[in-house]
Amino acid sequence: MDDSSIASVARVTSDGGASTREFVTKLSHWARDASDNLRMSVAYTSLSVAQSIKARVTSNRYGEPIRVDFLMDRRGYYIYHGASKSYGGLIGSKWKYKGIERTTNPESLGRAGSGKRPAYQFFTEVLDPMMDELSNIVSEYMIENATIALRII
């Protein structure tokens, strides 16, 4: 490798680092906006669920974001699927209460969304319109990295 090739590799590598920082920043802003929109959409149904919604960007060992998680109180899942007392999901669950093992009432299985609490799919309503923006952020980063990789070769 001659000196000019080493210099170009060093330049490309430093550009890639700036690109990753910019990508992390854009993705974090998108995640914050998405969680704010989610909070606003569910606040009239449950203020405690709205306050519990948080976005988390998970990165790999190289510092590149690989996933955006949205965390919320489990009551948010009940609202999303329309589950309530005697209106459970398809599978059911087991838990212990005061040392006694309890299970979901078999009569309530598969009845979520059919009772007094209709399913309110606020995630879908909020995140679907924001997917184009997310795909633009990700594709811009991936195209830039592919271009950098081609310059190195």
* Residue 130 confidence (pLDDT): 94
Rounded to an integer, what distance in angstroms lies between the CA atom of residue 42 and that of residue 46? 6
pLDDT given for residue 132 in this prediction: 93
- Please give the C-alpha separations between residue 63 and each of 16, 35, 55, 59, in angstroms, as whole numbers: 12, 22, 17, 5
| pLDDT at residue 67 in the model | 92
pLDDT at 31: 95
DSSP secondary structure letter of residue 106:
G
The amino acid that residue 91 corresponds to is I
List the helix and strand counts (H, then E) for the chain. 4, 4
pLDDT tens digits for range 114-143: 566 677 788 888 999 999 999 999 998 888
Mean pLDDT taken over the chain: 77
Written as six digits, the tokens of 86 are: 């005697």
- Give the predicted TM-score (pTM) of the model: 0.68
Render 25-87 in DSSP notation, one character per residue.
HHHHHHHHHHHHHHHHHHTTT-HHHHHH-EEEEEE-TTS-EEEEEEE--THHHHHHHT-BTTB
Q: Which pLDDT value is given to residue 123?
A: 85
Residues with pLDDT less than 50, the chain = 1-16
Phi, psi dihedral angles at 19 (to 5 degrees): -65, -40
For position 81, what pLDDT does the model report? 67
pLDDT at 101: 81
User: Under a CB-based contact definition with an 8 Å cutoff, are residues 79 and 45 in contact?
Assistant: yes
List CB contacts of 132: < 8 A, sequence separation 6 or more.
none
What does the pLDDT read at residue 74?
77
